Amino acid sequence: MRRIAILLTAFVATVGAAGAPAWAFAPGGSPAAPSAIAGEHVCTVSDRRVFELSGLAATAAGYVAINDSASDPADIHIFRFDNACRTQQVLAYPSAARDPEDLALGADGTVWVADIGDNDRNRTTVAIWKLAPRSTRPVIHRLTYPDGPHDAEALLLAADDTPLVITKEAVPGIYRPAKPLIPNTDDGVPLVRVGELRLPDTNTSNPWSFVGRRLVTGAAKAPDGKRVVVRTYADAFEWDVSGGDVVKAITTGTPRITPLPDEPQGEAITYGADGASFITVSDVDSGKPTPLLRYHPPAPPRPATTATATTEPSTKPATGAVGADARTRDGSRIPGGLTLEGVVTVVVTIGGFGLLLLLVRTGRKRRAGPG
């Protein structure tokens, strides 16, 4: 049922943005993704108390993880595993967590848990829980959106550990607190929208097809702070961060792509403790073993060494321009900033959504019987 709700939400969000130029490629065009290679098995979580993992962070001693929902809110916990995925600690929230979706490690070892899931878009506040080093009791810090509820599953920390929330929508928004967080406030600190994320198109296989390649489900910062990664159900997108400006990096830079093919419901991603690889985990149901997988991202490009190189005006048509006509590879125009791939995606999306509604209506008529 939860997966059906995710698909419905994705279709609605996608169709709602169908006429917007945000369907154009990311800044700098659409870089080619490398061939998809299955992740390497790291270890498997077999503890039956651990299910629906949606956030993960690597430490020298192992991993910190969270689960995002349960029939009983008392079963939503923060977990610590060793490097063999054996459970070392299970921590409860002091009050009921709603829908924790991602986590990050601060520079001082603080665990930041993003309680930001909102499938029904009816929450008046979302929250960040902070678990200080050597503490066993996380503290809640509530937040409010300036433009109504959003569903979100990704958390990044800026250079100064300010939390950045990335929404799970056709055009992912990036939000940060307008002022320092306040513990245990009921009203919530207001968020401000500081940008939007435009991800390149890929064709990576995943359970949700093209919808899964659009929806952001997790994020992480490298241990040295010089790289960040944002993932979907299908791929990981990595940017270099200059001067500590994470928002500028992910909104203006061109990412390197690492396919994460056919993960069952890939939501979590972290850098390995050495920063050299990505480690992911899927949100799987209770009682099922949960493997951690390792991927090796492409190396950053080497800086140019030719000092006498000159730059000439480019005659190549722009593919990522916003507010201007985009062009296909043969130079023909597509109005409104849409790429050809974007147009195809919109058409397929609307057709798929119509078919889905037809199936739902047919099912309802059958259940209701004649008359």
Three-state secondary structure readout of 223-292:
CCCCEEEEEECCEEEEEECCCCCHHHHHHHCCCEEEECCCCCCEEEEEECCCCCCEEEEECCCCCCCEEE
pLDDT of residue 128: 98
> In terms of C-beta density within 10 A (0-12 exposed, 13-18 middle, 19 or more buried), how is residue 83 classed?
middle
Tokens of 366: 């059958």
Residue 245 lies in a domain: yes
pLDDT of residue 6: 53
pLDDT of residue 227: 98
CATH code at position 91: 2.120.10
Length reported for the chain: 371
Q: List the single range of 189-203, 242-256, 285-299 with lowest mean pLDDT.
A: 285-299
pLDDT of residue 30: 58
Most confident stretch, 67-81, 193-207, 295-309? 193-207
Nearest 5°: CA angle at 151, between 175 and 247?
25
Residue 365 lies in a domain: no
Q: CA–CA separation, 83 vs 49, rounded Å?
A: 18
> pLDDT per residue over 101-117, tens digit each?
999 999 999 999 999 99
pLDDT of residue 180: 97
Q: CA–CA separation, 220 vs 228, rounded Å?
A: 6
Helix, strand or coil, per DSSP, at residue 315: coil
Check pLDDT > 80 for residue 74: yes
pLDDT of residue 368: 39
Check pLDDT > 90 for residue 300: no
Residue 5 lies in a domain: no
pLDDT of residue 304: 63
DSSP conformation class of 21: G
> pLDDT per residue over 164-216, tens digit each?
999 999 999 999 999 999 999 999 999 999 999 999 999 999 999 999 999 99
Number of domains in the chain: 1
Mean pLDDT of the chain: 81
- Section 255-277 average pLDDT: 97
Q: CA–CA separation, 82 vs 96, rounded Å?
A: 26
Give every CB contact of residue 44 below 8 A, 6+ residues apart in sequence.
85, 289, 290, 291, 292
Residue 62 lies in a domain: yes
Residue 43 lies in a domain: yes
pLDDT of residue 17: 42
Residue 311 lies in a domain: no
Tokens of 135: 């503490």
pLDDT of residue 305: 58
Residue 106 lies in a domain: yes
Structural domain for 56, as ranges:
31-298
Residue 331 lies in a domain: no
Q: List the single range of 26-35, 279-288, 292-301 with lowest mean pLDDT.
A: 26-35
285: number of Cβ within 10 Å: 11
Check pLDDT > 50 for residue 301: yes
- Section 151-159 average pLDDT: 98
